[in-house]
Amino acid sequence: MTAPLAIPTNTSDPLVLYGETFASRLLLGTSRYPSPQVLENAVKQSNPGMITVSLRRQGTSTTEAHSGFWELLKKMAVPVLPNTAGCHSPKEVITTAQMAREVFETHWIKLELIGDDYTLQPDTLRLVSTAETLIKDGFKVLPYCTEDLILCQRLVDVGCQAVMPWAAPIGTGQGPLNPYALKLLRDRLKVPLLVDAGLGLPSHACSVMEWGFDGVLLNTAVALADDPVAMANAFALSVSAGRTAYLSGAMKAQQSAQASTPLVGTPFWHQS
Amino acid sequence: MRVIVNQIAKEVSDGSTIDDVLLLIDAKPPFAVAINYEFVPKTRHAEEVLREGDEMEVISPVTGG
């Protein structure tokens, strides 16, 4: 592999969520990597603004296999975003969030309330009231949701200062399935929007950043790449490129060709 | 009496607190505890007494997406 490219930094354009500033617009999950060492290297390479973490029953094979995870988290020293993955009811979400707050010593929570096990589609009907309960309990809630405009507006109405619509179902890597709805969200909502779930390629991340999204959260696309560390680098670069493109103001697409080289004085010019 | 700890039945003495059960299962920090799906902060682990049939969850950090 060639040497990784350096991630550009732009301190004049930081990601700000709930009044807090983050070093990067890329948020990275910590699951499904081939080894803790690969995870650590991927995090080092991509310098994410936050890394997502979770909670499971102690004594299970999952937690036993990750017994060194806590030490690794402290070593990496990146802000953590606990999730409520696997919760299917508001009660489960709220209890898990409270437990996460104590374990990780953070008020941040990625709100996941699953309504369907096959698609991992959020339970949108109960998501808003659950977000409101968490916010009243002092949490800084980042809700994982669908790209529905009214749902996202209601989440903002109850106090979510950022919203995280999916691009596609979790872990599918399909990229944005509904660009129209995502662009509409960007146009209508004024809070930070981060695309969470379903991204598979750096070009997917670049696209949503070009559309004006404030960040992306991804996991599987990096963790399951043949070379997760190189892919983490690629995603970090794509997020930066997309953001720069958005701020630069893209040209309008044209229906007909327009010569970029001046035609005046062209030798052998034939005008039919 | 019998309580359920992380879905496994355990025999504990009457009057056992959360701290007593954590010691019994050799819980490794960091962890958080819920009793019957209600979070119990660590400041109350020494005083919270379990009752017959209580369900106790002890959870720890894992990787997540």
Site from A32, A56, A58 to mutate, B interface, most B CB atoms within 10 angstroms = A58
Min distance A178 CA to chain B CA atoms (Å): 22
pTM, rounded to two decimals: 0.92
pLDDT at A1: 57
Say if residues A110 and A83 touch (Cβ distance below 8 Å). Answer: yes
Q: How far apart are CA B21 and CA B31, in angstroms?
A: 13
Q: How far apart are CA B27 and CA B21, in angstroms?
A: 9
Chain B CB contacts of A56 below 8 Å: 59-60, 62
Which residue from A77, A59, A82, A215 is spatially nearest to B57, judged by alpha carbons?
A59
Position B23 in a domain: yes
A10 is in an annotated binding site: no
Enter the CATH code of domain A15-248.
Answer: 3.20.20.70
Chain A CB contacts of B59 below 8 Å: 55-58, 96, 99, 103
Say if residues A250 and A36 touch (Cβ distance below 8 Å). Answer: no
A99: tokens are 């437990």
Question: Given an 8 Å threshold on Cβ–Cβ distance, is A32 in contact with B65?
Answer: yes
Segment B33-62 mean pLDDT: 97
Position B45 in a domain: yes
Task: Choose the catalytic residue: A91, A110, A136, A190.
Answer: A110
Q: How far apart are CA A202 and CA B21, in angstroms?
A: 48
Say if residues B63 and A66 touch (Cβ distance below 8 Å). Answer: yes
Q: How far apart are CA A111 and CA B31, in angstroms?
A: 20
What range defines the domain where residue B17 resides? 2-59
Chain B CB contacts of A62 below 8 Å: 62
Segment B5-24 mean pLDDT: 96
Strands A26-29 and A215-218: parallel
Position B64 in a domain: no
Of B32, B33, B61, the CB nearest to A73: B61
Active site (annotated) includes residue A75? no
How many domains would you assign to chain B?
1
A143: tokens are 């809700």
Min distance A212 CA to chain B CA atoms (Å): 23
C-alpha distances out from residue A122 to A53, A169, A182, B47, Å:
18, 10, 16, 38
Residue by residue, pLDDT tens for chain A (272 residues) are: 567 888 777 678 999 999 999 989 999 999 999 999 999 999 999 999 999 999 999 887 776 656 789 999 999 999 999 999 999 999 999 999 999 999 999 999 999 999 999 999 999 999 999 999 999 999 999 999 999 999 999 999 999 999 999 999 999 999 999 999 999 999 999 999 999 999 999 999 999 999 999 999 999 999 999 999 999 999 999 999 999 999 999 999 999 998 888 888 888 877 76
Q: How far apart are CA A6 and CA A256, in angstroms?
A: 38
pLDDT at A63: 66
Position B65 in a domain: no
Position B43 in a domain: yes
Average pLDDT of every residue of chain B = 96
**CATH label of the domain that carries residue B34:** 3.10.20.30
Q: What is the pLDDT of residues A56-112, one digit of tens each?
A: 998 877 766 567 899 999 999 999 999 999 999 999 999 999 999 999 999 999 999
Position B34 in a domain: yes
A85: tokens are 């993955």
pLDDT at A6: 82
